[in-house]
Amino acid sequence: MDTEQAREGKFLSSRILNDGCKCTTWRNANYCFAVTVAIVLLNIILYAVCGSDTGDFSMRYNWGNFSVNNLFQALVNSYTHSNWQHVLLNMLCFLFAGVYLERKKGSLPFLLFMALMSLFTAFAVCTNDISVAWRGFSGVNYGLYGYIGIEYIFTLLLRRKRDIINIVAGAVMLGLIYFAMCFNGGTSSIGFEWYPYDLLHNLGHASGFVAGLVLGIVEQGTEWLCRARRTGAEQ
């Protein structure tokens, strides 16, 4: 009896920590949301230690010609914030998205995913804004919002992903994302509208969102095509 209860408890904890639709191995296991926690702490510690000044990279505002140096500055800007409200609100938004995605992807794949997402959204924001006169993790957050939207569509469409926890968690996440997009404030004020004001009135956020949509379509679409070809070859 104790053995059965232990197995049930292990199964339940595994379903909570990891997506039940994936074959969990050490490579794609969720190690207690370690990457999400690390990114939250990194942003908070960076602001606590450096404030909004990260040296030369926080003082140059013109994008100019494309260069690795400018792309690195854009990446640094994503992890730099103006004040405590700015960093804490961004980290609160990221916490929900990070927990949702790290459970589905696993900690190691999520670490790589966040590196790519940070680069893609930083580049998208800079090229659309034609400057690096911005800072904050919200561009990355909006990239995650776009990606989660596409990922949820595939969750509903593909039977192998239609796990009840995934469906409910995804619906809750979309509700939280819409709420975040209705934000009408700044780095020192808080307000909300009934429509996605923040998405429609901030070019940097919209750029990050589109980058997330594109990344989601490419990744999810490629995975679907590969599985479809494999299934066809086996038949």
Q: Which helix (H) or strand (E) holds 19?
A: none
pLDDT in the model for residue 130? 56
Tell me what the mean pLDDT of segment 114-135 comes to: 76
How do residues 138-159 score in pLDDT, each as one tens digit? 999 999 999 999 999 999 988 8
Tell me what the mean pLDDT of segment 196-223 comes to: 90
Record the pTM.
0.86
pLDDT in the model for residue 8? 42
If one counts every other C-beta atom within 10 angstroms of the C-beta of residue 42, the result is 12
User: Domain residues of the chain, as ranges?
Assistant: 2-234
Cα–Cα distance, 111 to 78 (Å, whole number):
16
How do residues 31-69 score in pLDDT, each as one tens digit? 999 999 999 999 999 999 888 776 555 445 555 566 677
Q: CATH number for the 2-234 domain, one of 3.40.50.2300, 1.20.1540.10, 3.40.30.10, 3.40.50.740? A: 1.20.1540.10
How far is the first Cα of the chain from the last one, in angstroms, to the nearest whole number?
43
How do residues 154-191 score in pLDDT, each as one tens digit? 999 888 777 888 899 999 999 999 999 999 987 778 88
Residue pair 164/21 in contact by the 8 Å Cβ criterion: no
How do residues 94-121 score in pLDDT, each as one tens digit? 999 999 999 999 999 999 999 999 988 8
